[in-house]
Structure 1
Amino acid sequence: MRTHEQRDLTARLSALAETPAPPPALDPSAVIARGRARLRRRRHALVGAVAGSTAAVLAGVLLLRPSGGPPAPAVPAPTASSTVAPTPTADTGPLSSEVRFGWLPTWLAHPAVGYANSDGRSVATATTTTEVVNAVPDLKLRLLPGPDDSAAPGTHTVAAPPVAGREAHWLVTDQSGTTIGLRWMTESGRLAELRATVWLGAKIQDDLLRVAAAARFDRWDVPFPVRAPGLPADLTLRNAEVHRPAKDSEPPWSAILSYTVGDKWLSVTAQPDGFGVFADGRPGGGTPVCRVDKGVRLCANGTAAGIPSVQAVGGLDGLLRRVTVLGADEASWAR
């Protein structure tokens, strides 16, 4: 996989680090999914193979009943056998999150769960494989900054059954009247938001209410494949993510740390070795410098590669030597 082929995978994702407050509609998980889908098509074309299926959102699907439909079901109790609660690591890493799933529906068979934190905004995603062409069912859970966050442009809210006894609303599109998600008040007084992409036939109202009732909003350290405590002090960490793709043809996980200093940026990426070069593809980032350690390929690039503090540690090569790799096996991340 060539470096330039990674650009559409990371350009918009890494651009999160350049703005102090990413817009609510921004979806890092979807960027990864769409980017990797494009890379699959390019890679397959190069080797003469059949093009891979697109990881695009299944458009036009009625997720929930419109606001004028029958009443929504009461909130069911979470099912213990379907809980998905990762165990926090005892070793503090670069990625912390305020959100995590406690229950996931059956239409997310073998879900690939990922986490992101950009400028203090936490997002948890769960995606899965499916035989439905051009469909990647997923859920996206995030905690909003405060109680007064308005709905994203093009949407409005409609009353929904309470979640854990607290006020809740469906998110409905202005144009079609289709319900696309759920918002509810958490115990802390902040709003949580859950959005879904599914296909017809899923018990979506029932499932969204179950997911919301079981969601957890306690800050915890997400297990992460690397530690980077020795980087130059003027590099400010703006974005940290770990993703697990839903497609078996992709690496089992990938991670990115994005830093800024002034108007310049620098990114460190990691994924298991053997899947090509995964690097930040924003314009001006230059050729990435990479090294392999404990089965993990680390790469670094960015417009901040030439600043004095980075040059003082030996440039990108010296900077990568200051990154500690825990291992390619996720079991090694919680040391």
Structure 2
Amino acid sequence: MNDLKERLSEIAGTPGPVTSVDAAAAIRRGRRIRRGRRAASGTLLAGLAAAVTAVAVPPGSPDGPHRTVRPAQQAAYPALLVPPAAFGRLPKGYAQTVARFEADPADYTVAAGRGDRPALELTLMESRTEPPIANLPGGKKGHWMKTAHINGHIGHWTIVPGGPGSDQVPAELRWEYQPHHWALLSVTSRALAQESTVLRIARGVTFGSRGPAAFPFRVRGVPSGLKPSQARVGTGPQASVRLASPGAPGGELGIDIVPASRKRAMVNTKTDGHAAFDSRLAHGGPTMDRNPSEAQRLVVYGVQGFDVTVQATGGPLRRLQASGGLTGLYHRVTLLGDDPARWTTTPLG
């Protein structure tokens, strides 16, 4: 599956957000120097319900000012993100900051940091055999370097603090915490890269679900039958959801919210009075040969303190047209603020 952000950043004519390399990605593709994560900019208008008889199209939208569309059908989706582990006691000043799920291949990641600085990532994978050891930074073959005992299980250092590879990835430790289930702890902060500290953090991890993660938004009228391919919730708050259309003709749908930024990658319209970017409209990016009816990205900036992006390709985008397209989907999103007590564990529906 092509990455939705990469595909739609081409349509937008702007670079997609820089994504950090999680531990599972390092296993699949080899380690890279960690880069800061910035979610795609976009903003959501809160409080507009899905069950309306017509969706008013904002000024500047190619849908036109007089188009009337059918109410969106309501599809039921279960909880999207149920983390199977959590960090226990962390060093002073550090806290768990992110939970993430990816479906291909299936893995979960929980991350911790100090303020907005990432420091740790714990990735959980299911495999009947031990997952391959990623290459060391620079392309050298990775291997076990040292063993460790973690709550009755044998663990293996794949990067020892101060050893080969630690100049880019300060430390990395893996263990099979139950049959065919593996944990990979990657340390990205040199301040924590001491063997005793890493082992203490690993031994403090608790396994087993504490329930589904809550999201700071709710959206109605998402097309039915899509398969969740990625879900992420982080402090800020920021959150994203990716859904894929199984089988032919395929396609994807994504929703992202992040705290509003003063730096706006590109603006070419307004939506409900807010600066916005619509990839179907003229913009200063390169000319693309992709049919705009097959891929679209809509970013709306600075609504209730958030930027929100809705984006889609292929089948999901075509199915949305009957209920107002991406603009209609945008109007069916409700922002739930920055108080986790108000968030929902079922953001889709």
TM-score, scaled to structure 2: 0.60
Please say if 1:256 is aligned against 2:237: no
Output the CA distance in 2 between the equivalents of 1:191 and 1:306.
Answer: 34
Residue from 32, 36, 42 that aligns with 1:33: 36
Q: Secondary structure at the match of 1:269?
A: strand
Cα 1:306–1:123 shift into 2, 3 Å: closer
Residue 164 of structure 2 is matched in structure 1 by 176
Tell me if structure 2 keeps the 8 A contact 1:168–1:185.
yes
Conserved? CA contact 2:157–2:172, under 8 Å: yes
Aligned: 1:319 with 2:309: no
* Structure 1 residue 320, shift from structure 2 partner: 2.5
- 1:9 corresponds, among 8, 17, 20, to 17
Whether the aligned pair in 1 keeps the contact of 2:94 and 2:114 (CA below 8 Å) is yes
Q: Which residue of 1 aligns with 2:200?
A: 210
Structure 1 residue 205 displacement after superposition: 0.7
Residue correspondence of structure 1 range 103-122 to structure 2 within 5 A: 103-106=89-92, 109-111=93-95, 113-119=97-103, 120-122=106-108
Task: Give the number of the structure whose alpha-carbon radius of gyration is greater.
Answer: 2
Q: Distance in 2 between matches of 1:34 and 1:294?
A: 22
SS in 1 for 2:341: helix
Q: Can you give the 5+ residue segments of structure 1 that lack an aligned partner in the other structure? A: 40-91, 131-135, 245-251
Describe the superposition over 1:115-173 as per-residue Cα deviations: whole angstroms up to 9, x where unpaired: 1101031001112259xxxxx56111011222521212331113422111111111138
- Report what 2:6 is aligned to: none
Find the counterpart in structure 2 of residue 164 from structure 1.
Answer: 151
Asked whether the equivalents of residues 113 and 125 of structure 1 are also in contact (C-alpha less than 8 Å), the reply is: yes
Superposition deviation, residue 202 in structure 1: 4.6
Which of 142, 149, 154 is the matching residue for 2:123? 142
Q: Distance in 1 between matches of 2:337 and 2:244?
A: 26
Query: One-letter code of the match for 2:255?
Result: V
Match of 2:182 in 1: 191
Query: Which has more strand, going by share of residues?
Result: 2
Among 218, 221, 225, the alignment partner of 1:227 is 218
Name 1:75's counterpart in structure 2: none
CA contact (8 A) 2:218 2:344 kept: no
Q: Which runs of 5+ in 2 are unaligned?
A: 1-8, 42-77, 136-140, 266-276, 280-287
Task: Report the Cα distance in structure 2 between the residues aligned to 1:99 and 1:26, rounded to whole angstroms.
Answer: 24
Contact 2:229/2:242 (<8 A) preserved: yes
**Cα pair 2:111 2:118 within 8 Å, conserved:** no
- Residues 1:94 and 2:110 aligned together: no
Query: Residues 298 and 327 of structure 2 are in contact (CA less than 8 Å); yes or no, is this contact kept in structure 1?
Result: no
Write the letter of the residue equivalent to 2:147: A
Q: Distance in 2 between matches of 1:177 and 1:274?
A: 35
Aligned-partner SS, 2:86: coil
Alignment root-mean-square deviation, CA: 4.1
Whole-angstrom distance in 2 between the partners of 1:93 and 1:172:
35
User: SS at the partner of 2:174?
Assistant: strand
Q: Tell me how far 1:203 sits from its aligned partner.
A: 6.0
Quote how far apart the aligned CAs of 1:306 are. Answer: 7.4
220-229 vs 158-167, which moves further:
220-229
1:127 counterpart = 2:113: yes
Task: Compute the TM-score of the two structures, normalised by the length of structure 1.
Answer: 0.62
Q: Within 2, Cα distance between the matches of 1:223 and 1:323?
A: 15
Q: String of CA shifts for 1:224-263, please: whole Å, max 9, x gaps.
A: 112346310143321111233xxxxxxx222111222244
Fraction of identical pairs, as percent: 23
- 2 CA distance for matches of 1:35 and 1:280? 20
Shift of 1:23: 6.2
